[in-house]
């Protein structure tokens, strides 16, 4: 276990204040914010970076979100609950929350990762948020981890449900096509623009051999959902 310097403690303190949780074991917070590239550059053990914490944090996050929506939305079946949870624990959602907390500012990177935009990379920030959740869980228990998770996500969940952001347009399009006729649905990326850490993807969707719609988004999955929604509207099958 590395000793945390006073300088490093001071660097991380604004984050503790922001999340309203102060660690008893600061090495856990430091580990959650240490990327594997930093550990590799400094010849540190695999336990000294955040990948193991990320693994645990994914499960803690899923448990907290699952319990929250299970208790709050008692009239929703398993399939709806699964879609709500999937939209919250996905990489894009985690990335937005990590950006809000400015996690990249507090992370330790190797020089190569730093130079290639790691501090802004979607996957890295999403993973760091999961690692942070695990660090809180180990340091303070499930109650404190749950308090942090719901403090960040409960409003998003409720807003998503109210505005039906949990709609899975790809599944709806597939179900509609299979119901009406036996045709295949294909998605094709037609373009992308922007730097690696902030790309926009463009996708076309075809039903059978006919163009049906297009969409764009911050990820390929998001663009495909937008394209499917467009297709449903063009087919007169939208809600």
DSSP class of 108 = B
Catalytic pick among 48, 54, 58, 152:
58
Catalytic pick among 48, 113, 127, 130:
130
Asked about 58 being catalytic, the answer comes back as: yes
- What distances in angstroms separate CA 69 from CA 80, 83, 98, 162, 166, one per listed residue? 10, 11, 22, 13, 13
> Angle at the Cα of 108 (from 103 to 114), degrees rounded to 5?
95
Separation between Cα atoms, residue 144 and residue 138, nearest integer Å: 10
Asked about 152 being catalytic, the answer comes back as: no
Residues 42, 45, 51, 54, Cα dihedral to 10°: -110
Separation between Cα atoms, residue 188 and residue 190, nearest integer Å: 6
The alpha carbon of 73 is separated from its chain's Cα centroid by a whole number of angstroms, namely 22
The residues assigned a catalytic role are 58, 130
């Amino acid at each position: 276990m590395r000793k945390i310097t006073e300088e490093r403690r001071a660097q991380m303190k604004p984050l503790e204040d922001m999340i309203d949780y102060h660690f008893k074991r600061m090495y856990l917070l430091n580990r959650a914010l240490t990327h594997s590239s930093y550990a590799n550059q400094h010849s540190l053990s695999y336990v000294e970076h955040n990948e193991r914490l990320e693994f645990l944090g994914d499960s803690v996050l899923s448990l907290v979100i699952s319990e929250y929506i299970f208790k709050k939305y008692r009239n929703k079946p398993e399939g709806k609950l699964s879609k709500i949870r999937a939209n919250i624990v996905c990489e894009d959602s985690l990335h937005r929350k990590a950006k809000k907390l400015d996690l990249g500012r507090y992370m330790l990177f190797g020089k190569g990762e730093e130079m290639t935009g790691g501090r802004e990379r979607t996957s890295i920030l999403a993973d760091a948020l999961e690692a942070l959740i695990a660090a809180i869980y180990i340091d303070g228990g499930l109650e404190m981890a749950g308090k942090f998770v719901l403090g960040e996500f409960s409003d998003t969940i409720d807003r998503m449900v109210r505005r039906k952001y949990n709609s899975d347009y790809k599944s709806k399009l597939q179900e509609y096509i299979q119901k009406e006729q036996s045709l295949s649905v294909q998605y094709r990326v037609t373009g992308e623009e922007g730097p690696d850490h902030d790309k926009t993807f463009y996708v076309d969707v075809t039903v059978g051999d006919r163009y049906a719609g297009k969409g764009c988004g911050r990820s390929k999955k998001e663009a495909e959902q937008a394209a499917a929604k467009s297709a449903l509207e063009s087919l007169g099958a939208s809600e």
